[in-house]
Structure 1
Amino acid sequence: MATGSAAKKRPPDPLVLLEEFLPYRLNVLAGLTSSALAQIYAERYGLSIPAWRIIVTLGQYELRTARDMAPDGVMHKSTVSRAVSALEKRGLVVRRPNLDDRREEWLALTPRGREIYEAVAPEALAVEERLLSVLTSDERRMLSSLIEKLTQQARRLAPGDLEEGDA
């Protein structure tokens, strides 16, 4: 019969508290931030997260290919493809031939797509400012630096086709 402390000991949990696990914490922060932004782009304009990322990217860069956008937004190419098709059906994105590479097409915002980008971008920046308002200037700079370092390290560790929201 086993008695004493040896019989009662359990191995320690690999994740003592999920709430302290960095990938979980980052995912929670991203989810809460996305929810705040969704009030703008989902409720007002009916855009999904991938669709909003495409609108923003095309608003900033004018022309991009779907292949160019997948790694930028950490989206799988099939996610980008579905979002582009939905945006095209709504008349927000147009495809143009890429004369240098006929296997892909250039994507651009239509005037209606540009109107949405120009209306929502300032509101999204205001949400960002409200989120960051609890940090000092030094903390903001430090946060930006830390996010950059962690992002570079995560890209080295992650498989090439990691979807957003995985953690």
Structure 2
Amino acid sequence: MPNDKLELESFLPYRLYHIADLVSREFARIYKDRLGLTRPEWRVLAGLGQHGEMTAKAIGEQSAMHKTKVSRAVAELERRRWLTRTPDEADRRVEHLTLTKAGGAVYAEMVPLAKAFERTLLERMHETERNALMVALTGLESAYRKNRADFDAFDRIMSRPGGQTPSTDDSV
């Protein structure tokens, strides 16, 4: 009899999601307590701080956030006067977002907090584990990009009658 149970504790997508969620929640406590930011607001602020100027669509793609979450975060950061919107000259539907001086100051305060959090997290691991983790993550990202067509084909197969349609939820 084939093994017909899925053990979540050893299922790679679940393990990746679970550890990412744990780390993300722990880091969220820092930027929420210190800066009063939600996760989407933090992601928008971080993207703009890193790139200088972005569209809402680009922020959504970089941060893997749905456009409504990006829109709400942008509206809140604009309300706080931490970012500005500039309409695109060629396409008025597109807005270019940039941090204001106040938003840049918040970003500057956030960067050392984020780096200290990452450093503390990685220091809990042995150097060989850290190196292995970075190599493994790079390998997973590369394999996923190379094999995206395989995942798309799997989605098409599972969407056929008789197959199970995958969930549209963005988490495992």
Please state which band the TM-score falls in when normalised by the shorter chain: 0.7 to 0.9
- The 3 A distance-change label for structure 1 pair 25 and 106 is same
Unaligned runs of 5+ in 2: 156-167
Give me the whole-angstrom Cα distance separating, in 1, the residues matched to 2:26 and 2:116: 11
Percent identical: 41
Q: What SS class does the counterpart of residue 35 from structure 2 fall into? A: coil
Instruction: Say whether 1:122 aligns with 2:120.
Output: no
| 1:1-167 pair list within 5 angstroms | 12-15=3-6, 17-133=7-123, 134-136=125-127, 138-154=128-144, 156=148, 157=151, 166-167=171-172
Maintained 8 Å contact 1:96/1:106: yes
More helix by share: 2
- The 3 A distance-change label for structure 1 pair 163 and 58 is farther
- C-alpha RMSD of matched pairs (Å): 2.2
Deviation at 1:141, TM superposition (A): 3.4
Maintained 8 Å contact 2:87/2:93: no
Larger radius of gyration: 1
Q: What SS class does the counterpart of residue 36 from structure 2 fall into? A: coil
Q: What SS class does the counterpart of residue 106 from structure 1 fall into? A: strand
Larger RCO (alpha carbons 8 Å, 6+ apart):
1
Count of residue pairs the alignment pairs up: 153
- The 3 A distance-change label for structure 1 pair 163 and 40 is farther
